[in-house]
Structure 1
Amino acid sequence: MALTRGSFNGYEFDRMVVLFSMVDGERMIPCAVSTSAMDDLEKAERVPPEQRELQFMRLRDRIEQRAAEKFVAREFEGTPPGIILRSLDFRKAR
């Protein structure tokens, strides 16, 4: 089953990540993308904290596509297991 869009769960300043979720059938998959990855994708300087949600929404399709690829590859991290996206994840040849 393919992952589907979940929810935007906020910006976590201490970890410098945007939290979101993806859905696999009935199961919610916790995900995070680093703010540096989002800035790299947009070739932007540091985006202010209050603009992180808008930035995520602009990049959402690309971020979720990469999260789905990591899900299929079973590249989980953390407890509970989830998907974490970094700048490096968007540099790999597809």
Structure 2
Amino acid sequence: MALTDAGFTDYDIDRSVVLFTMMDDTTSVPCAISTDAMDQIEGVKRTSAGQREQQFLRLRDKISECASRKFVAVELEGRPPGIILRAIDFRG
């Protein structure tokens, strides 16, 4: 089953990731995407910290699609298990 979008959670400036959740039926799946990945998708060099949530919202469809692919492929990491998206996940 593919995941469905549940939305933006937070921007962790210390780890340079945007945290978000996806839903597997009624189960929340923690997710993160690196800021490098988001900048690569948009073709920009560096987005300011204050613009990260808006950038995530603009890219939500691409991010959700990639997270769903990794979930179906059971590419989960961390504790609790979740999805981490990096720039390499969007090359191709």
TM-score, normalized by the shorter chain, greater than 0.5: yes
Equivalent residue runs for 1:1-94 within 5 Å: 1-92=1-92
For structure 2, the residue ranges without an aligned partner over 5 or more in a row are: none
How many residue pairs match? The answer is: 92
Q: Write the distance in 1 (CA, Å) between the matches of 2:26 and 2:65.
A: 19
| 8 Å Cα contact 2:31/2:83 also seen in 1 | yes
RMSD: 0.7
Structure 1 runs not aligned, ≥5 long? none
Q: TM-score, normalised to structure 2's length?
A: 0.97
Contact 2:2 2:71 in 1 (8 A): no
Stretches (4+) displaced over 3 A? none
| TM-score, structure 1 normalization | 0.95
